[in-house]
Amino acid sequence: MIAFFFIIIGLIIMLFGIIGMIILPEFLLRIHSSTKCGVTGAVNILVGLMIHSGNIDYIFRFGLIITFLFVTAPIIAHTLAVFHLQEKNIETDGDSDDTDPEKRS
């Protein structure tokens, strides 16, 4: 019963992420919505599957998937945001192109 509760909560959280992707106006806000809701919803679903399976082998595998999600999701979102900002010609992290001799003079 608790396993299904986690799965339903994960699906609801993912639904909020989908709604955020649809209604949020800016690309960076949409990335934030999809990343946070996607990871949180997926972790809830995987925890529900861990509880439902009860098998230590599956619990270990689902734990590895959760770890992989926590490691890769922020990196993917950051990479997409950096590419988006570079495409809009916005300088990030204070990096300016001062090394170009033509722009210095």
Tokens 């689902």 -> residue: 62
Tokens 């806000």 -> residue: 29
Domain boundaries, the chain: 2-91
What integer pLDDT is reported at residue 15 of this predicted model? 95
Given a cut of 90, whether residue 91 has pLDDT beyond it is: no
* pTM beyond 0.85, yes or no: no
Q: Say which range, 59-68, 79-88, 95-104, has the weakest mean pLDDT.
A: 95-104
What integer pLDDT is reported at residue 84 of this predicted model? 86
Instruction: State the average pLDDT over residues 77-101.
Output: 69
Given a cut of 70, whether residue 75 has pLDDT beyond it is: yes
CB 17 within 8 A of CB 41: yes
Region class of 93: left (phi > 0), else alpha (psi between -120 and 50), else beta: left
What integer pLDDT is reported at residue 87 of this predicted model? 82
pLDDT single digits (tens) 8-39: 999 999 999 999 999 999 988 899 888 999 99
